Amino acid sequence: MKQKTLKIVYWSVTVIFCLVNLFSGFAELFPNQSAFDIMTLLGYPFYLLIILGIAKILGAIAIIQTRFKTIKEWAYAGFSIDYLGASMSWYFVGGDVFGILMPFVFLAVMFVSYFLWKKVERIKD
């Protein structure tokens, strides 16, 4: 893959991933009744929505920025924990297969972004 093509694909995947997480973060900061019902089903306190919302917004910003590599690495790690935790939470409450597997779709997109970022970084050096 050419360097320019690699950068375009990386930024396209990364921007889409970050936009989805920004929207998700704001939805968790301003939850509706459905979000409260899900938290009740999972057995989590409602304030966890605020924590996750802030973390997702900050994580998306950390992944988009290009200056602080360590913060970017931690953001990718945080999203990994979030998606694995979401999947396992649905599993432990006896959720449907869709609810258990859907976080892995986002996890896969995140890993594509991460590995493309690493390739772009290697080209820079």
Give the pLDDT band (50/70/90) at residue 124: confident
Portion of the chain with pLDDT greater than 70, in percent: 99
Portion of the chain with pLDDT greater than 90, in percent: 94
**DSSP notation for 10-62:** HHHHHHHHHHHHHHHHHHHHS--HHHHHHHHHHT--THHHHHHHHHHHHHHHH
Q: What is the pLDDT of the chain when averaged over all its residues?
A: 95
Answer for the pair 27, 35: CB distance below 8 angstroms, yes or no: yes
The answer to whether residue 53 is domain-embedded is: yes
Count structural domains, the chain: 1
What does the H/E/C string look like for 65-102? CCCCHHHHHHHHHHHHHHHHHHHHHHHHCCCCHHHHHH
Residue bearing tokens 């989590």: 44
The answer to whether residue 125 is domain-embedded is: no
Which range of residues forms the domain containing residue 96?
3-120
Residue 123 has pLDDT above 70, yes or no: yes
pLDDT tens digits for 77-91? Answer: 999 999 999 999 999
pLDDT of residue 1: 75
Euclidean distance between the first and the last CA atom of the chain, given in angstroms as a whole number: 17
Cα–Cα distance measured from residue 82 to residue 72, given in angstroms and rounded to the nearest whole number: 15
pLDDT tens digits for 53-71? Answer: 999 999 999 999 999 999 9
Residue 125 has pLDDT above 70, yes or no: no
Mean per-residue pLDDT for 40-45? 96
